[in-house]
Structure 1
């Protein structure tokens, strides 16, 4: 995981509950299923802290809306693909330096609460 350096903010989007088509079995292809998404991202927040204006902050509401739209409007065979596409939504925002996305598929395995996949990405700090 990335280090929280001075001036960096960590935003967590916790337990975003959505429904989508996820899986390879016939029943999964025909019926939407519940998924749970958790996102952690880091961005430089010095301007947001100093200026106290949304125009100088990373708008997590915008990111969340993009994730919701993408997940609910698409179909995914694999949890890995769904997780990567959510991560791509987050990383499209240039301010994001590091992101971690975990997607849970509840009841994917018998006797298990869920199965989850976690993927990460980072953007090198330019000099």
Structure 2
């Protein structure tokens, strides 16, 4: 394998099934009562220097990002699921180490015969 270069794709952090409560929707009942939402976030970043050197300062602080997501969801009201998801994408992308993110928010029991309704948005940095 001499002379061959190895390409390493970005690393992916997944925050899975973050269960929160917020006001989301424009119907009267949705405006009066908090609803459950389930947030899933994929965050791609270059973790190689953190991994090779076991350097905490080089790693993406997903705990801080998750705390920001929790605060934003629980401390605000949203008429549209689109607004909520877009806000979370922008919040994650505000961290300069993030190269790509995909955020999905599920609204359980939004439709009578469905487990949930979800919306996904993504963003990438060049």
If the length of structure 2 is used for normalisation, what is the TM-score? Answer: 0.92
Cα contact 1:7–1:46 (8 A) shared by 2: no
Q: CA RMSD in A?
A: 0.9
Question: Residue in 1 aligned with 2:119?
Answer: 117
Question: Residue in 2 aligned with 1:70?
Answer: 72
Question: Residue in 2 aligned with 1:54?
Answer: 56
Misfit runs of 4+, over 6 Å? none
User: Any idea what SS the aligned residue of 1:6 has?
Assistant: coil
Question: Residue in 2 aligned with 1:84?
Answer: 86
5+ unaligned residues in a row in structure 2: which ranges? 1-6
CA distance in 2, matches of 1:36, 1:116: 9
User: Which of 5, 15, 18 is the equivalent residue of 1:16?
Assistant: 18
Select the structure of larger CA radius of gyration.
2
If the length of structure 1 is used for normalisation, what is the TM-score? Answer: 0.92
